[in-house]
Chain A
Amino acid sequence: MPRDVNRELLELAEFHGEELEKIYPQWKYTADRMGLSDEDIAFAVDHYIPDNWEVQYKGIRMMIGAYLRETIDVVATPKMKEDGVKIVYGILPAIATNYTAIKHAGGDKVFVGFPDLLLVNVMNSFFHEAAPYFYRAEAEGFTYGCRHCPLNKMRFAAFSSGLIAAPDIIWSWGFNCDEGPKTDEMIKCLIGQDWNYVVSRIPHDTEFGIIDDEIEDRVKYLADMMKLGAQQVSDAIGIKVTDEAMAAAVKANNKYSFKIGQLVNMCCNADPAPLGGDALTMMQQPITLPFNTGFKYMEEALDVLIKEMRAAIKEGRGIVPKGAPKVGFYNVPFCIPWVGKMFRDNGVIISFSHVLTASKKQLSPSKYEDSWMQAAEMWLRMSIGQNLGSELEGIIEKIEMNHPDAMIMGFFDFDRWLGSHHKMLAKLLEDRMGIPSYYIEADFWDDRDYSPEALRTRIESVCQILKMKKGIVE
């Protein structure tokens, strides 16, 4: 009897019984549409997932399941649109609550998601198969040589190939990024005028060390921009985001954030570490990536994982030996999961992601009562919303909180904002804290140019040095 690899995958992702039977045809359809062959899925089930993810934990398997569910929804957007469901997209980075509030307000009448991020995430983290979409985008105008963002390539190619529907509106936050919002203009110009978009932007114009969220004019401008964008979204889909919907979105986000904060803190300070930073980052994602399926499935996975981590820590179980050096990342490249494995294989654990770890200020109450001012302030308190000098202070705080033995910068070579200042950050961190900080040129989403062979020597050298510093002799 031939293998049914799709069924095996779903079972691995903790679908069983009736639920498995119900989701099986939906997943089969999704996999076909995405171009995942049985061989691709067999590779994922036999090698890629078990090699790179800690599937010994049920919570991790459930997390994979939650991502697969979301993928099914993303790929169903053309059908949803035919059925009259309003389609709302967004892009990273953003504050998810501004989008999940739309879902709270619209329920089943609206789809809300960031399809490019979700697709790159699922295709590369679990199947290592996003490359065909990147090639497609490159052939159709997103040139290879200019080092464009793989997320934008995915958005372009996913629409060009018919995998996702044209949105009723995509609300692109360009508070960091130039290329993200301009991708919508490019899609509209090159592929289809029905790609309806609205952009919200703010210039990077605060001087080094000025604290962005403390400039009231700046908070107000950003709040007004957000409000205007939200209004344009509402006008496009005919769904008004009520205060109640926003409050419900914030409440759900806060609940999840609190739990994920517990998990990260627990794992980063455990010795031996029971879980790597790539898995933690995958669990952190719903804070910045709205799931059309909501927090439900990720939160169930999170609850299970927290229990499993408590047990592992209590029993002294880890995925690296006790005393193994820990490295923090600017952002852990969870879409290229073999990076984390390569560190682990060399006796070093990846711990936290700076950009996804909340600072004390982020967790402190807002000084504003207006919800838009709060959202704007929240953005400006995030490291990615700040100038280099302010961001540095945030990293220092997180290093003091999570105690890594070194910081790894880089993996953002495609990003002229989030990826261009890492060498300066590395120097500043070494000067201020004496913590070794290494810059590795690589791509967070796409490993075509930075294969394991290309990065192995660099990663092995870093690991060797860190172990020597800790007096670990092999």
Chain B
Amino acid sequence: MEAIMKELAKQAKARPVLLQKAKEEGKKVIEYTGNFIPEEYIRAAGAEPFLMCRGGDPEAPDAVLEYMLRFMNPLARSMAGYWLMGMDVVTPITDLIVMQQTDNHVGRISELLEFKGLPVFKVGVPPDWDKQLAVDYYKDQLKKFVAKMEEVTGNKIDEDEVRKNFAKTNAINERLRKISELRKKNNPPIGFSEFIKLNHYSFAVDNDVMIGKLDELYDELKDAPGKFMEDCPRILLVGHAVAIGDYVVPKILEDAGAAIVADFLDEGIRTYNDDVALEGNLIDNFVDAKYVNKVPIDIFQPAWEQRFEYIKKLIEENRIDGVVWYQLAFDEIYDMECSCVAKWLKEMDMPMLKLESSYEYSRESMGPLTTRLESFVEALKGGKKNA
């Protein structure tokens, strides 16, 4: 596994350089955010997509404070922060930043990018998703997005090309599902630290290469021995996002002897359970798969009762011993949902740890953070032993 991960890491790291070359060759570079922008259309338009979802450094969120309220979540702030710090090599060459408008954090950060003169295109995603009006609105927004792609690239988008791209992302999803299933084993051969990185690499590495590497990895892992201690606590990680680069918390948990065997995140991860049907109208299919039929993201309304049903399903299917609620600092809607989830989990006697991250992983912060995570894992181990 190590060799494959290393190879993928190398390729993902090279992506910005490839984008610069592509740009020099006359290709357009399109950045986008979140899971509600179909990158398949960007590719089909002949442009190079790049997901904006970097995080895990405290400096980037702080860099926006000259312009922005400090009580915004650090992931949204990082979207502008790295660029303001001069630590983002893609945004300066981007031809367009397509930003899904799901909440106010990303909404105002989009405006900061506009304020600074960057080219931003917004795709509205109505949170009241159970209304036909909202569904139609989102479809219209995607149609405008497609038109914008054609305008920026000067290329007419070929529907068959989009279909091919969806087929490839479906193929990636399928392989990620298979690998994820391996995490259900008593002692999984792969941890979350690797699994989330696979997701992140899949946004940056060529799709065909990624499919091949995922196949290789699955073949290697399917009969491999577990990588954790026998009978280690099994954890479900729930939250907004584990951003590209924000790997500290999963690593501490796994180093402490727990296995994160299931995840429920709204961003920074592929929606690998939700394939897009390839027959018929692809925008309709995308909206059905990612908006209408998918478990709603936290900001959608109504959402929390349905989301908790899904959490219960994950707990049952993955034989979970404890839940880690991984929250981004000042992410107010997740904070509210957390109060509900905490109550419901308590009623189930399921241990939960709420963890808030401002991407502050300084030496001073790491001690208390590690102690909290280790204590939680130790308590879970104790619980398993007693059981």
Q: Mark B34-72, 1 if CB is under 8 A from A, else 0.
A: 000000000000000000000000000000001111111
Residue of B nearest to A206 (CB): B122
Give chain B residues whose Cβ lies under 8 Å from the Cβ of A145: 356
Stretch at the interface among B84-92, B247-255, B302-310: B302-310
Q: How far is the CA of A419 from the CA of B356 in the complex (A)?
A: 22
- Asked whether, in the complex, the Cβ of A422 is within 8 Å of the Cβ of B69, the reply is yes
Please judge, given known A-B contacts A143-B335, A182-B333, whether A204 and B107 are in contact too, CB under 8 Å.
yes
Q: Mark A173-210, 1 if CB is under 8 A from B, else 0.
A: 01001110111011001100000000111111111100
Question: In the complex, which of the residues B72, B125, B302 contacts A185, with contact meaning CB atoms closer than 8 Å?
Answer: B302
Q: Mark B323-339, 1 if CB is under 8 A from A, else 0.
A: 00000011111011101
Stretch at the interface among A217-225, A356-364, A455-463: A217-225
Please judge, given known A-B contacts A141-B336, A208-B115, A221-B133, whether A420 and B127 are in contact too, CB under 8 Å.
no
- Asked whether, in the complex, the Cβ of B67 is within 8 Å of the Cβ of A427, the reply is yes
Please judge, given known A-B contacts A217-B140, A416-B71, A416-B332, whether A208 and B339 are in contact too, CB under 8 Å.
no
A-B pair number, CB within 8 angstroms: 146
Question: In the complex, which of the residues A190, A228, A413, A416 contacts B104, with contact meaning CB atoms closer than 8 Å?
Answer: A416
Q: How far is the CA of A264 from the CA of B380 in the complex (A)?
A: 63
- Asked whether, in the complex, the Cβ of B104 is within 8 Å of the Cβ of A205, the reply is no
B112 within 8 A of A: yes
Give chain B residues whose Cβ lies under 8 Å from the Cβ of A343: none
- Asked whether, in the complex, the Cβ of A420 is within 8 Å of the Cβ of B108, the reply is yes
Q: Mark A394-418, 1 if CB is under 8 A from B, else 0.
A: 0000000000000000000110110
**Range for the number of chain A residues in contact with chain B:** 35 or more
Residue of A nearest to B71 (CB): A147
Q: How far is the CA of A201 from the CA of B299 in the complex (A)?
A: 12
Give chain A residues whose Cβ lies under 8 Å from the Cβ of B140: 217
Chain B contact residues, majority secondary structure: mixed
Please judge, given known A-B contacts A146-B330, A147-B332, A206-B122, whether A200 and B339 are in contact too, CB under 8 Å.
no
- Asked whether, in the complex, the Cβ of A143 is within 8 Å of the Cβ of B339, the reply is yes
Residue of A nearest to B335 (CB): A146
A323 within 8 A of B: no
Count residues of B near A (Cβ-Cβ below 8 Å): 51
A317 within 8 A of B: no
A424 within 8 A of B: yes
Give chain A residues whose Cβ lies under 8 Å from the Cβ of B69: 413, 416, 419-423, 441
Q: How far is the CA of A217 from the CA of B343 in the complex (A)?
A: 42
- Asked whether, in the complex, the Cβ of A205 is within 8 Å of the Cβ of B123, the reply is yes
A148 within 8 A of B: yes
Give chain A residues whose Cβ lies under 8 Å from the Cβ of B329: 146
CB distance from B330 to the nearest CB of A (A): 6
Give chain B residues whose Cβ lies under 8 Å from the Cβ of A141: 336, 339-340, 343
- Asked whether, in the complex, the Cβ of B128 is within 8 Å of the Cβ of A421, the reply is no
A436 within 8 A of B: no
- Asked whether, in the complex, the Cβ of A205 is within 8 Å of the Cβ of B124, the reply is yes
Q: Which of B121, B128, B133, B140 has the most CB of A within 10 A?
A: B128
Give chain A residues whose Cβ lies under 8 Å from the Cβ of B120: 207-208
Give chain A residues whose Cβ lies under 8 Å from the Cβ of B124: 202-205
A6 within 8 A of B: no
Q: How far is the CA of A147 from the CA of B66 in the complex (A)?
A: 19
Q: How far is the CA of A388 from the CA of B67 in the complex (A)?
A: 13
Give chain A residues whose Cβ lies under 8 Å from the Cβ of B273: none
A78 within 8 A of B: no
- Asked whether, in the complex, the Cβ of B66 is within 8 Å of the Cβ of A178, the reply is no
A142 within 8 A of B: yes
Please judge, given known A-B contacts A178-B299, A204-B101, whether A148 and B133 are in contact too, CB under 8 Å.
no
B111 within 8 A of A: yes
Give chain A residues whose Cβ lies under 8 Å from the Cβ of B123: 205
CB distance from B223 to the nearest CB of A (A): 44
- Asked whether, in the complex, the Cβ of B71 is within 8 Å of the Cβ of A414, the reply is yes
- Asked whether, in the complex, the Cβ of A186 is within 8 Å of the Cβ of B107, the reply is no
Give chain A residues whose Cβ lies under 8 Å from the Cβ of B330: 146-147
Q: How far is the CA of A141 from the CA of B343 in the complex (A)?
A: 9
- Asked whether, in the complex, the Cβ of B72 is within 8 Å of the Cβ of A203, the reply is no
CB distance from B160 to the nearest CB of A (A): 29
Question: In the complex, which of the residues B102, B299, B340 contacts A186, with contact meaning CB atoms closer than 8 Å?
Answer: B340
CB distance from B24 to the nearest CB of A (A): 28
- Asked whether, in the complex, the Cβ of A148 is within 8 Å of the Cβ of B336, the reply is yes
Q: Mark A424-468, 1 if CB is under 8 A from B, else 0.
A: 100110000000000001000000000000000000000000000
Question: In the complex, which of the residues A182, A185, A421 contacts B111, with contact meaning CB atoms closer than 8 Å?
Answer: A421
- Asked whether, in the complex, the Cβ of A179 is within 8 Å of the Cβ of B332, the reply is yes
Q: How far is the CA of A217 from the CA of B70 in the complex (A)?
A: 34
Please judge, given known A-B contacts A388-B111, A388-B115, A421-B108, whether A199 and B301 are in contact too, CB under 8 Å.
yes
Can you pick out 6 interface pairs between chain A and chain B where the beta carbons lie within 8 Å of each other? A146-B335, A181-B301, A199-B128, A416-B71, A416-B105, A423-B69
- Ranked 10 nearest A-B pairs via Cβ: A203-B124, A205-B124, A141-B339, A208-B114, A416-B104, A420-B69, A205-B122, A146-B335, A204-B107, A189-B340
